[in-house]
Structure 1
Amino acid sequence: MQYVRPMSQPVRSARTLQSTPNRTTDGAETPGSRRAAAQRLKMRRELAAAAMELFAAKGYEATTVDEIAARAGVARRTFFRHFRSKEEAIFPDHDDTLVRAEAVLDAAPPHEHPLDTVCRGIREVMRMYAASPAVSVERYRLTREVTTLREREIASVARYERLFTRYLLGHFDETAHHDGDDDPLLAEVAASAVVTAHNHVLRRWLRAGGQGDVESQLDHAFAIVRDTFGSGIGAGRSAAGEQEPPAATVSRQGEVLVAVARTDAPLGEVMRTIERALRRD
């Protein structure tokens, strides 16, 4: 396993770095760009709400783009400035959520386990759904009934999975990829596991009508993923190629466990080390 901690592993897409009148040349946002983004998202959500109301009242097939635009009080061309089709209209937040997930990966602390970073990134998706439980539950019902919407949702999930796979692959030494090297496979499987764990918790929460402590359920699911894949991906090497000390070590002194941790160690990794030691005992 050739694991490296790159000095910098930006995963931001060209779309988010593109220079615009509301951005500086290095991609930083300006107050104007933030206002424009907020207005854009507000309009997308209004169109999505109109679409959801009409789909519930008339059915998906019987609803037209013109009717959605009219319900939202805008022209047809305004609808198409925000969405390419009516099925896209019920997923107004995915693009912005993907950008936020990318930002989490870009700003990851240097000593954070990459799987922990990916788990924090996908929490942005859960927060998107949890922000409007009633809308999310109704959208879930629609996607179960309409094949086109279900396919659109699957395509959206695939974008997150590709993002996280690229991030995990970025933490392996590219020169070590050769026949018989399983690092690329491990990165893809781990990314898929994070997405699958998230989606399992999300579906269970939606089927329960958006009730329950979804954050603690997500914590539990991610702990399982981390325990399963963490030892392979997290066998850390520094950028200089030197073996990093473990985040924490645990020893037994009589009936007491003594934990010693690096001062820069992520708290979650320290706690998992202690939990594994307790389970062994």
Structure 2
Amino acid sequence: MQYVQLMSQSAKSTRTASASDVPESAAGSRAAAQRLKMRRELATAAMELFATKGYEATTVDEIAAAAGVARRTFFRHFRSKEEAIFPDHDDTLIRAEAVLDAAPPHEHPLDTVCRGIKEVMRMYAASPAVSVERYRLTREVPTLREREIASVARYERLFTRYLLGHFDEHDHHDDNDDPLLAEVAASAVVTAHNHVLRRWLRAGGQGDVEAQLDHAFAIVRDTFGTGIGAGRTAGTSAPSASSVPAAVRTEGDVLVAVARTDAPLDEVMRTIERALKNNS
């Protein structure tokens, strides 16, 4: 979308620096920020009205009036009043996808997915009071609950596609369970996130939610992380040494570990832990 207004050559030669001098990318970022600000203001107005008047009794016109905008402005941002209660999900989905796209090559894909879904938790944690009220409303209004479930399903599809993208989903044979593990692991990450989020919301948005999330993800990684990739057949080409973050071998009663200097410490420790368990 073009955000910078085009002007005649003569006008360009005589005008002074103005907002139209800003690069299109900067103008686009500013417009996106303004759009998100308006969406949040409409969402705040909607939640206040839902809380005081009730969901069914609240109209779009009332939401727009409470936010100080016209009805048509509301519909430029939301298709319905139930959609207005979730103003950040579209932008959060984009941020989560950006985390996946920028993942370092040596990172375990399950770790990348765990980092990606943290963007969702940060969205809720940025406004605890709003998130707690939203949670209360979604428990009381089935239409809002359905909208929330639909939003969660989008994240799960994103992470499942990412994990499946690291394996050949058509390579289904008796010795390769990677496609199955990829789908189950993606669901497990989303479920772990939602479990921690609900517990935090029920506690009124109190507590170190990110630490709780890290603990839940550690359980998911311990359960699924060692299985993904383990079903390769002998004929499948092994990853190159440069792509493996850490490797171990045993020499008698001694365990020798070799790791890349840029390998994540938690991945190195998990590799050593798995090797110790296998040799115990």
TM-score between the two structures when normalised by the length of structure 2: 0.82
> 1:35-55, CA deviations, whole angstroms, 9 ceiling, x for partnerless residues?
011000000000000001101
- Pick one of 251, 266, 270 that aligns with 2:264: 266
Higher RCO (Cα < 8 Å, 6 or more apart): 1
Structure 2: distance between partners of 1:250 and 1:177: 28
For the 8 Å contact 2:156–2:190, the answer to whether it is kept is: yes
Question: How far apart are 1:164 and its partner, in Å?
Answer: 0.5
- The residue type equivalent to 1:182 in the other structure is D
Is 1:31 aligned with 2:26?
A: yes
Q: State the match for 1:152 in structure 2.
A: 147
- Pick one of 170, 174, 177 that aligns with 2:171: 177
For the 8 Å contact 2:178–2:231, the answer to whether it is kept is: no
Q: State the match for 1:192 in structure 2.
A: 187
Runs (4+) of structure 1 exceeding 6 A deviation are 255-258, 277-281
Question: How far apart are 1:182 and its partner, in Å?
Answer: 3.4
Q: Secondary structure at the match of 1:61?
A: coil
* Correspondence 1:35-74 to 2 at 5 A: 35-74=30-69
* Correspondence 1:170-249 to 2 at 5 A: 170-174=165-169, 176-178=170-172, 182-235=177-230, 241-245=237-241, 247-249=245-247
- The residue type equivalent to 1:187 in the other structure is A
* Correspondence 1:64-143 to 2 at 5 A: 64-143=59-138
Q: Secondary structure at the match of 2:135?
A: helix
Pair 39,236 (structure 1): closer, same or farther in 2 beyond 3 Å: farther
Q: Secondary structure at the match of 1:30?
A: helix
Pair 69,212 (structure 1): closer, same or farther in 2 beyond 3 Å: same
Q: Secondary structure at the match of 2:227?
A: helix
Question: How far apart are 1:188 and its partner, in Å?
Answer: 1.1
Question: How far apart are 1:243 and its partner, in Å?
Answer: 3.2
Structure 2: distance between partners of 1:178 and 1:236: 10
For the 8 Å contact 1:248–1:260, the answer to whether it is kept is: yes
Q: State the match for 1:21 in structure 2.
A: 2
Q: Secondary structure at the match of 2:226?
A: helix
Question: How far apart are 1:233 and its partner, in Å?
Answer: 1.9
Q: Secondary structure at the match of 2:146?
A: helix
Structure 2: distance between partners of 1:152 and 1:79: 18
Q: State the match for 2:11 in structure 1.
A: none
Structure 2: distance between partners of 1:221 and 1:32: 40
Range 264-273 or range 134-143, more displaced: 264-273
Aligned-residue CA RMSD in angstroms? 2.8
Question: How far apart are 1:236 and its partner, in Å?
Answer: 10
TM-score between the two structures when normalised by the length of structure 1: 0.82
For the 8 Å contact 1:194–1:222, the answer to whether it is kept is: yes
For the 8 Å contact 1:161–1:191, the answer to whether it is kept is: yes
Pair 267,278 (structure 1): closer, same or farther in 2 beyond 3 Å: same
Structure 2: distance between partners of 1:51 and 1:271: 48
Unaligned runs of 5+ in 1: 1-19, 24-28
Identity of aligned residues (%): 85
Unaligned runs of 5+ in 2: 5-23
